[in-house]
Amino acid sequence: MGEKDDKNTTQHLTAHQINSSVAQQVAMAVKSTLGPKGMDKMIIDPLGDTVVTNDGVTILTEMRIQHPTAKMIVDIAKTQEEEVGDGTTTAVVFAGELMSKADFLLSKNIHPTIIIKGFKNAADHTINFLNSISESIDDEKLIDIVKTAMTGKSAELVKEYLAPIIVEAIRTAKDRDAVLLESVVGLRVKDSKLVKGVILKKKKVHYDMPNKIVNPKIALVSSKIGVLDMGGNTSVQVTDPNSMEKFFAQNENIVKKMVNKIKEAKVNVVFCSKEVDDIAGYLLNKEAVLTFKNVNMEKIEALAKATGAKIISNVNDIKEEMLGKAGSVEVDESYVSVNDCENPKAVTIFLQGGTEHVVDEMRRAVEDAIGVLSILIDDKKIVGGAGAVEMEVVKEINKYADEFSGKEQLVIKAFADAIEVIPTALIDNAGLDSIDVVSKLKYAHNEGKKWAGVNVFKGEVIDSVKEGIIEPVKVKIQAIETATDVVNMILRIDDMVAGEERSPQNNYGA
Ligand code: ADP
Ligand code: MG
One-letter amino acid at 174 equals K
How many domains does the chain divide into? Answer: 3
The residue-averaged pLDDT of 336-362 equals 92
The DSSP string of 51-108 is EEE--HHHHHHHTT--SHHHHHHHHHHHHHHHHHSS-HHHHHHHHHHHHHHHHHHHHT
* CB-based contact 115:409 (threshold 8 Å): no
Residue 144 CB less than 6 A away from ligand 1: no
| pLDDT at residue 3, rounded to an integer | 44
| pLDDT at residue 238, rounded to an integer | 61
Q: What angle do CA 428, 419, 486 make, to 5 degrees?
A: 115
348 pLDDT more than 70: yes
Pick the last residue of a domain from 361, 379, 397: 379
Pick the last residue of a domain from 299, 334, 369: 334
The residue-averaged pLDDT of 182-201 equals 90
With cut-offs at 50, 70 and 90, classify the pLDDT of residue 227: confident
Whether residues 276 and 288 share a domain: the answer is: yes
Pick the last residue of a domain from 334, 360, 392: 334
Domain presence at residue 341: no
354 pLDDT more than 90: no
Residue 38 CB less than 6 A away from ligand 1: yes
Whether residues 98 and 220 share a domain: the answer is: no
- Report the C-alpha gap between 202 and 296 in whole angstroms: 10
- Report the C-alpha gap between 242 and 238 in whole angstroms: 9
Whether residues 355 and 317 share a domain: the answer is: no
Whether residues 269 and 322 share a domain: the answer is: yes
* CB-based contact 362:351 (threshold 8 Å): yes
Whether residues 414 and 296 share a domain: the answer is: no
Ligand nearest to the CA of 426: 1
- Report the C-alpha gap between 483 and 78 in whole angstroms: 12
DSSP 40: P
Which position among 89, 291, 424, 484 bears the catalytic label? Answer: 89
Beta bridge partners of 184: 352
Which has the closest alpha carbon to 94: 457, 482, 370, 412? 482
Pocket test for ligand 1, best of 33, 60, 151 (most atoms within 8 A of CB): 151
Q: Which comes out higher in pLDDT, residue 290 or 175?
A: 290
Domain presence at residue 226: yes
Domain presence at residue 86: yes
* CB-based contact 349:368 (threshold 8 Å): no
Whether residues 358 and 479 share a domain: the answer is: no
CATH number reported for the structural domain that contains residue 442 in this entry: 1.10.560.10
Pocket test for ligand 1, best of 34, 424, 451 (most atoms within 8 A of CB): 34
Residue 90 CB less than 6 A away from ligand 1: yes
Domain presence at residue 501: no
The kind and range of the H/E element at 331 are strand 328-331
* CB-based contact 371:176 (threshold 8 Å): yes
| Strand, coil or helix: 88 | helix
Whether residues 68 and 151 share a domain: the answer is: no
CATH number reported for the structural domain that contains residue 162 in this entry: 3.30.260.10
CATH number reported for the structural domain that contains residue 209 in this entry: 3.50.7.10
Whether residues 326 and 237 share a domain: the answer is: yes
Report the first-to-last Cα separation within the chain, whole angstroms.
Answer: 33
Whether residues 279 and 313 share a domain: the answer is: yes
Neighbours of 457 (CB within 10 A): 10
Domain presence at residue 315: yes
Whether residues 211 and 278 share a domain: the answer is: yes
The DSSP string of 191-210 is G-EEESSEEE----SSTTS-
| pLDDT at residue 233, rounded to an integer | 55
* CB-based contact 34:89 (threshold 8 Å): yes
- Report the C-alpha gap between 343 and 85 in whole angstroms: 26
The kind and range of the H/E element at 14 are helix 4-31
55 is catalytic: yes
Of ligand 1's listed atoms, the one at least distance from the Cα of 384 is 16
Residue 371 CB less than 6 A away from ligand 1: no
Whether residues 234 and 318 share a domain: the answer is: yes
- Report the C-alpha gap between 368 and 387 in whole angstroms: 19
Residue 152 CB less than 6 A away from ligand 1: yes
Q: How far is the CA of 422 from the centre of ligand 2 (A)?
A: 12
Whether residues 213 and 101 share a domain: the answer is: no
For residue range 293-335, list pLDDT tens digits in order. 999 999 999 999 999 999 999 999 999 999 999 999 999 988 9
> Alpha carbon of 236 to those of 35, 232, 278: distances in Å?
68, 12, 20
Give the total residue count for the chain.
510
Shortest-distance Cα residue to atom 10 of ligand 1: 35
Which domain covers residue 271, as residue numbers? 202-334
| pLDDT at residue 231, rounded to an integer | 55
Residues 6+ positions from 101 with CB-CB distance below 8 Å = 414, 415, 417, 418
- Strand ranges in 178-285 using DSSP code E only, listed in sequence order: 179-185, 193-195, 198-200, 212-214, 217-221, 269-272
Domain presence at residue 510: no
With cut-offs at 50, 70 and 90, classify the pLDDT of residue 44: confident
Domain presence at residue 502: no
Of ligand 1's listed atoms, the one at least distance from the Cα of 423 is 14
- Report the C-alpha gap between 362 and 136 in whole angstroms: 28
With cut-offs at 50, 70 and 90, classify the pLDDT of residue 59: confident
With cut-offs at 50, 70 and 90, classify the pLDDT of residue 507: very low
Which has the closest alpha carbon to 397: 96, 123, 117? 123
Residue 87 CB less than 6 A away from ligand 1: yes
DSSP 317: G
Cβ-in-10-Å burial (0-12, 13-18, 19+) of 297 comes to exposed
Q: How far is the CA of 36 from the centre of ligand 1 (A)?
A: 6
- Report the C-alpha gap between 427 and 24 in whole angstroms: 20
9 is catalytic: no
Which has the closest alpha carbon to 115: 474, 476, 494, 421? 494
Shortest-distance Cα residue to atom 12 of ligand 1: 35
- Report the C-alpha gap between 162 and 165 in whole angstroms: 5
* CB-based contact 58:77 (threshold 8 Å): no
| pLDDT at residue 230, rounded to an integer | 62
506 pLDDT more than 50: no
Neighbours of 358 (CB within 10 A): 20
The residue-averaged pLDDT of 448-470 equals 96
Q: How far is the CA of 107 from the centre of ligand 1 (A)?
A: 33
Domain presence at residue 5: no
- Report the C-alpha gap between 259 and 291 in whole angstroms: 11
Q: How far is the CA of 151 from the centre of ligand 1 (A)?
A: 6
| pLDDT at residue 509, rounded to an integer | 39
